[in-house]
């Protein structure tokens, strides 16, 4: 009896899992700070700013024409075929456009030396404002170095978050002081 109940629950679970479509890479929840630990928060924010700057359609993707404009503005125009190859090299979901995650993959691959010297993506990574050759992926030489690095990564994010919070507090305090000064000045005119 218990075996039958367990078997029915298992078959029900398998049916439920089979009903849902497998999630495509673009539909998964994406956190750049946890997935791309080799980059600092500032670097990721800079890359996101650059991504949004060239995402003319504001749809969260850089399509072929937007990539063309980006490469022209960076001073490295590419052919139509070259642009398609650039997208194909990092396009995980095969939608022929770059999501922010795929955009970050360009910089990860550039830092790891996985891009060909003559590829458009290598040129893009080299011409961008983020210097991935000095800030990028660093291989651990041994298990212990990898362990230390993992600990430092989490503390580095905590330090960056604290610095951002301190900056916000400082800005809020300055705003409060400006408002108080304005009200004091305003009261003299009443």
Mean pLDDT of 86-92: 86
Mean pLDDT of 25-34: 71
The pLDDT of residue 140 is 35
Task: Provide the residue range defining the domain that includes 75.
Answer: 35-127
* 84, pLDDT greater than 80: yes
Least confidently predicted of 78-92, 116-130, 136-150:
136-150
CB 124 within 8 A of CB 74: yes
Whole-number average pLDDT of the chain: 77
Q: Which of 69, 187, 49 is nearest to 130 (CA)?
A: 49
For residues 39 and 123, state if they share a domain. yes
CB 96 within 8 A of CB 63: yes
- CATH number for the domain spanning 123: value is 1.10.238.10
Most confident of 9-18, 113-122, 174-183: 174-183
- 132-154 pLDDT, tens digit per residue, is 344 444 433 444 455 556 566 66
| Structural domain contains residue 41 | yes
Assigned token pair, 74: 């960076």
| Structural domain contains residue 132 | no
* 78, pLDDT greater than 80: yes
For residues 93 and 150, state if they share a domain. no
CB 76 within 8 A of CB 127: yes
Q: Would you place residue 183 in the very low, low, confident or very high pLDDT band (cuts 50, 70, 90)?
A: very high
Last residue of a domain, one of 127, 146, 167: 127
Going from the C-alpha of 95 to that of each of 31, 98, 103, the distances in angstroms are 20, 8, 14
């Amino acid at each position: 009896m218990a075996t039958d109940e367990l078997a029915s629950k298992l078959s029900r679970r398998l049916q439920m899992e089979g009903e849902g479509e497998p999630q495509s890479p673009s539909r998964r929840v994406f956190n750049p700070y946890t997935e791309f630990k080799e980059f600092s928060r500032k670097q990721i924010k800079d890359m996101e700013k650059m991504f949004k700057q060239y995402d003319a359609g504001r749809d969260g993707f850089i399509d072929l024409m937007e990539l063309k404009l980006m490469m022209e503005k960076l001073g490295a125009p590419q052919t139509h075929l070259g642009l398609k190859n650039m997208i194909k090299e990092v396009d995980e979901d095969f939608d022929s456009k770059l999501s922010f995650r795929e955009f970050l993959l360009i910089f990860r691959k550039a830092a790891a030396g996985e891009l060909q010297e003559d590829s458009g993506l290598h040129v893009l990574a080299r011409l961008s404002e983020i210097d991935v050759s000095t800030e990028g992926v660093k291989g651990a030489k041994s298990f212990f170095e990898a362990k230390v690095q993992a600990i430092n990564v989490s503390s580095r994010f905590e330090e960056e978050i604290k610095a951002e919070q301190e900056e916000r507090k400082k800005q809020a305090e300055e705003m409060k002081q400006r408002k108080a000064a304005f009200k004091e000045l305003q009261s003299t005119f009443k």
